[in-house]
Structure 1
Amino acid sequence: MLRPRIIPVLLLQENGLVKTIQFGDERYIGDPLNAVRIFNEKEADELAVLDIFASKKGKEPNYRLIERLANECRMPLCYGGGIKNLDQANRILGFGVEKIIVSSLAIENPKMISTMASYLGSQSMVVAIDFKKAMLSRKYEVMIHNGTKKTGKHLEDLVKEVIELGAGEIILNSIDRDGTMRNNF
């Protein structure tokens, strides 16, 4: 039997870490470099860092901070936030980051996922899907831009699409349960 893997997900907002509740009510919880040091000591299996500020504001990734995080991290590091093209992804992987995480790109430019997977390898391509329970339905609706924009797509359909496009891993984020300490589904 496979042992469970521990993969903390850190949310960056500008240069600090935040905790959210249902993708809102951001509260500062600390310094990202210090958090990486703590998870190094705890021997986490992998670490995911999502820059929600870059995603929300349409900003470029904070390359300087990403490089510092990669230099400090003693486990596989995944980064997402503001990545829109192959050049950005290559630059981030060049710092020693092992995986790229994209989210809104799956809706806005799905062919880019296929392009990135072809050049970088599916093992380096992660798609994060934010979703919430659709009203009056048993379906889950996909949201983008940190849960602020409806896509009209259902979770099950998008999961199938991104697998076909070459995503090596998928992160499912339940907006309804984010930060509530309840199970994701």
Structure 2
Amino acid sequence: MLAKRIIPCLDVKDGRVVKGVNFVNLRDAGDPVELAAVYDREGADELVFLDISASVEGRATMIEVVKKTAGEITIPFTVGGGISSTDDMKRLLRAGADKIGINTAAIKNPRLIEEGASKFGSQCIVVAIDAKYNESWGEWEVYTHGGRNATGIKALEWAQQAEALGAGEILLTSMDADGTKDGFDLALTKAVSESLGIPVIASGGAGSKEHFYDVFTQGKADAGLAATIFHYKEMTIQEVKDDLRGKGVEVR
């Protein structure tokens, strides 16, 4: 079994890190470059940087902020938001990203996953899935444009298609749990994790050390991603790792 990873997430809007609940009511959480450097020092395994308004505003990710952030850290760095071509991917990789996160653009053009994987390698392509429970279906639906648009696509089927097209990893965010601090969506995470052969990063809902333990043991996730609890110093990455180690979970 691979060691589990703890990954802070920087949701960036207008050059600042922000955090909300269920994708709305955003509040400021600091400077992305400074926060990235802190997380690198504190033992984060990786870092995810999401330019959350890029797809909605129809513009490219902020290259300069990515360059500065990459210059401050030594850990793997995934960048997403507003990426719609392999040229966009190349620019971000040159700016210092290690992996590319695609969400809205991959739904619009699934071949983008295949093109990115063939040019840069599967390990470079992270398909981000924002999913919300659809009562009438009895399963989860994929949303795009920062959680604004319902797609009519089932999350489980889309995750499997993304893997088949060459995605190296899935970043799975539960919109229902996002920012609530009530725990990860274990049912969603387990369903997706058990249906794939590639790693799944669980996102949305982390509020305690126990939540990470639950998402690794019950949810079968390979990595746990969080924002609020780390940004506002409610707990440190080291505290989470120490707790997991104490419970017999292998972490990096």
TM-score range, shorter chain: over 0.9
User: For residues 117-156 of structure 1, what are the alpha-carbon distances to aligned partners after superposition, in whole Å with 9 as ceiling and x for unaligned?
Assistant: 1001000000000010002332101110111111111011
2:75 corresponds in structure 1 to: 75
8 A contact 2:37–2:69 mirrored in 1: no
Aligned residue pair count: 185
Paired residue for 1:99?
Answer: 99
1:6-25 matches, cutoff 5 A = 6-25=6-25
Q: 2:185 aligns to what?
A: 184
1:41-78 Cα deviation digits (max 9, x unpaired): 10211000011021221111111111111111121111
- Which residue number corresponds to residue 116 of structure 1? 116
Match of 1:133 in 2: 133
* Mapped partners of 1:3, 1:87: distance in 2: 33
SS of 1:157's equivalent in the other structure is: helix
Hey, what does 1:40 align to over in structure 2?
Answer: 40
Tell me the TM-score normalised to structure 1 length. 0.96
CA-to-partner distance for each residue in 1:18-52, whole Å, 9 max, x for gaps?
Answer: 01100111111111011011102102110000110
Instruction: Confirm or deny: 8 A CA contact 1:127 1:171 kept in the other structure.
Output: yes
Tell me, what secondary structure is at the counterpart of 2:6?
coil
Measured against aligned partners, the alpha-carbon deviations of 1:102-129 in whole angstroms (never above 9, x if no partner) come to 0012210111111011001000000000
Q: Which residue type is aligned with residue 138 of structure 2? A: R
How many Å separate the matches in 1 of 2:4 and 2:111?
A: 32
8 A contact 1:105–1:113 mirrored in 2: no
Matches within 5 A, 1:166-177: 166-177=166-177
Distance in 1, Cα, partners of 2:61 & 2:97: 13
Distance in structure 2 (CA, Å) of the matches to 1:26 and 1:60: 21
2:161 counterpart of 1:161: yes
Alignment RMSD, CA only?
1.1
Q: Secondary structure at the match of 2:53?
A: helix
Task: Check conservation: 2:77, 2:98, Cα contact below 8 A.
Answer: yes
Q: TM-score, structure 2 length as denominator?
A: 0.71
Structure 1 letter corresponding to 2:81:
G
Could you tell me which amino acid in structure 1 is paired with residue 86 of structure 2? L
Q: For structure 2, which runs of at least 5 residues remain unmatched after alignment? A: 187-252
Partners of 1:81 and 1:135 in 2: how far apart?
A: 28
**Contact 2:85–2:112 (CA under 8 A) maintained in structure 1:** yes
Do the aligned residues in 1 keep the contact of 2:174 with 2:184 (CA within 8 Å)? no
- 2:159, 2:5 → 1: CA distance? 22
Q: Is the 8 A contact 2:22 2:179 kept in 1?
A: yes
**Structure 1 contact 130–172 (Cα < 8 Å) conserved:** yes
Seen in structure 2, the aligned counterparts of structure 1 residues 90 and 30 have a Cα distance that, compared at 3 Å, is same
Residue matched to 1:144: 144
Moved over 3 A (4+): none
Change (3 A) 1:111 1:36: same
Distance (Å, rounded) in 1 between the aligned partners of 2:184 and 2:95: 34
